[in-house]
Amino acid sequence: MIEGPVGVGKTSLAIMLAEKINGQTSLEHTEDNPFLDKFYQRPKKYGFQTQVFFLLRRYQHAREINQIGLFKSAVITDYLFDKDRIFARTNLDDNEFWLYEQLFQLLKRRVTAPDLVIFLQARTEVLMERIKKRDRDYERSISFRYLDQINQAFNDFFFHYLDSPLLVIDASKIDFVNVPEDFEDLVNQIRTIKSGTQYYIPISLKDRS
């Protein structure tokens, strides 16, 4: 599974990896959330509805992935089930989060941990630039301050993540879409990971040292 903050490149990497290893993708479609556009405009009013919708949708996807896995050698997603809680902790007040947490913990017990998690991280300035470049309607209201909060929350979460083997990639320093050598080197690195946390250094940066 591939995870990271908004605009970091999760979907692009998921699609490329699935094609490379003859796997199947299960991609998140955030635009399906009917509350998302309203949330970015009025976060206090629509935060709880937005998070519960995402939580239930991601749980449904997680159950579907288990079925897909029976027939495919690899299923690659551009989200982690736990991701929703990262946003909820940032977006909800204490009372809303308490209620959300009860539902989250009930559902998480039924979700299988992934074989590998790839965490793409990047500076908030880079994320903001990429979001503006792709120019999605519902993302135009995202502020730098909010994006920076989410970015820090992701970094904090994965600093303590132990549920699966973890590969951390600084997406500010790698262009796996346009630099074939970086992508091939990344695939080779992924194939070697068995346990623990590893930090990926792109081959293009190794060559400069």
Looking at this protein, which amino acid is placed at residue 57?
A: R
Structure tokens belonging to residue 33: 């959330």
Catalytic residue among 37, 78, 163, 175: 78
Helix axes 10-21, 180-192, angle to 10 degrees: 70
Residue 72 and residue 97: Cα distance in Å, rounded?
A: 36
Strands (E), 51-195: 75-77, 117-121, 166-170
Q: How far is CA 166 from the centre of its chain?
A: 13
To the query of whether residue 78 is one of the catalytic residues in this protein, the response is yes
The Cβ of residue 105 has, within 10 Å, a number of other Cβ atoms equal to 10
The Cβ of residue 93 has, within 10 Å, a number of other Cβ atoms equal to 10
Catalytic residues, which ones?
78
